[in-house]
A and B are shown apart, each in its own frame.
Chain A
């Protein structure tokens, strides 16, 4: 058998053994890519409960440029949460749930207020948002 033909056969055999490995690797790589893309497109979700006259949690830290979904849940009457400087305002009905998606574009500390009048402590019902790099 000529030497060149023998080499070609060896390469073909090697290719056969390598191909599955390459295929599986590509499959894993694509899975990782999909997972990464999914992580990027799914905003972080933060749940906040509102009850006369307290938001829980009372403080939240976010990253600038990171999209978030703020889910506001009322445990009693209608409430709202407004961060004026960030252009965010979400209102929730009595005992209901509402959400707003936003991406903080400024670094700093922002105080959000209840934006639906809810009684004698309404003016003190606040949530502090820290936006960091």
Chain B
């Protein structure tokens, strides 16, 4: 009996730790605090302006650059259309048309695309994409098409 006690205690501790690791959706307060922290403190580069002119050609270039691989998680429309795992990520992949994303400045969006967001699983794109391509994506994010209007990425249609 006594010999089995350490094993039982160890198993119980592991079980408690695993339960403690369970991620629940954040509450309203946590969401509000994180929104403020991300926009005001954690994501820098607030003042930098997009050097690209805001016109149809620039948006088209952004759409093209976005299609290289951003669409795998964000969909063609930046609103997760057709992305099968978007709701299963923790945190879920946000709609890029939503307030949480659109309320960042252009400079902050550039920084997020450059460096990624570590805990969320979003990778940085600096040097994978050129500076112009990243700025053009920022421009595209400001002119996203209606949700679902572009269909789903081809990779999920096969």
**A122 surroundings in chain B (CB, below 8 A):** 68, 128-130
Q: Interface digits, A91-133 against B, CB 8 Å rule (1 contact, 0 not)? A: 0000000000000000000000110010011111000000000
Cβ of B80 < 8 Å from any Cβ of A? no
**A113 surroundings in chain B (CB, below 8 A):** 130, 132
Nearest opposing residue in chain A for B129, CB measure:
A123
**A117 surroundings in chain B (CB, below 8 A):** 65, 68-69, 129
Are A123 and B68 touching (Cβ within 8 A)?
no
Cβ of A10 < 8 Å from any Cβ of B? no
Q: Interface digits, A35-60 against B, CB 8 Å rule (1 contact, 0 not)? A: 00000000000000000000000000
Nearest opposing residue in chain A for B131, CB measure:
A123
Nearest opposing residue in chain A for B69, CB measure:
A117
CA A117 to CA B70, docked complex, whole Å: 12
**Size of B's binding interface in residues, CB under 8 A:** 13
**B65 surroundings in chain A (CB, below 8 A):** 117
Q: How large is the interface on A (under 10, 10 to 19, 20 to 34, 35 or more residues)?
A: under 10
CA A25 to CA B69, docked complex, whole Å: 67
Are A120 and B128 touching (Cβ within 8 A)?
yes
- Say how far A27's CB is from chain B's closest CB, in angstroms: 54
Cβ of B127 < 8 Å from any Cβ of A? yes
CA A124 to CA B132, docked complex, whole Å: 12
Are B132 and A84 touching (Cβ within 8 A)?
yes
CA A121 to CA B69, docked complex, whole Å: 14
**B134 surroundings in chain A (CB, below 8 A):** 123
Cβ of B106 < 8 Å from any Cβ of A? no
Q: Interface digits, B109-132 against A, CB 8 Å rule (1 contact, 0 not)? A: 000000000000000011111111
Are B132 and A121 touching (Cβ within 8 A)?
no
Chain B, 99-158, CB within 8 A of any chain A CB: 125-134
- Say how far A128's CB is from chain B's closest CB, in angstroms: 14
CA A119 to CA B69, docked complex, whole Å: 10
Inter-chain pairs besides A113-B130, A117-B69, A120-B128, 8 sampled, C-beta below 8 Å: A117-B68, A121-B127, A122-B68, A122-B129, A123-B126, A123-B129, A123-B134, A124-B127
A-B CB contact pairs (8 Å), 17 listed:
A113-B132, A114-B130, A117-B65, A117-B69, A117-B129, A121-B128, A122-B68, A122-B128, A122-B129, A123-B125, A123-B126, A123-B127, A123-B128, A123-B131, A123-B133, A123-B134, A124-B127
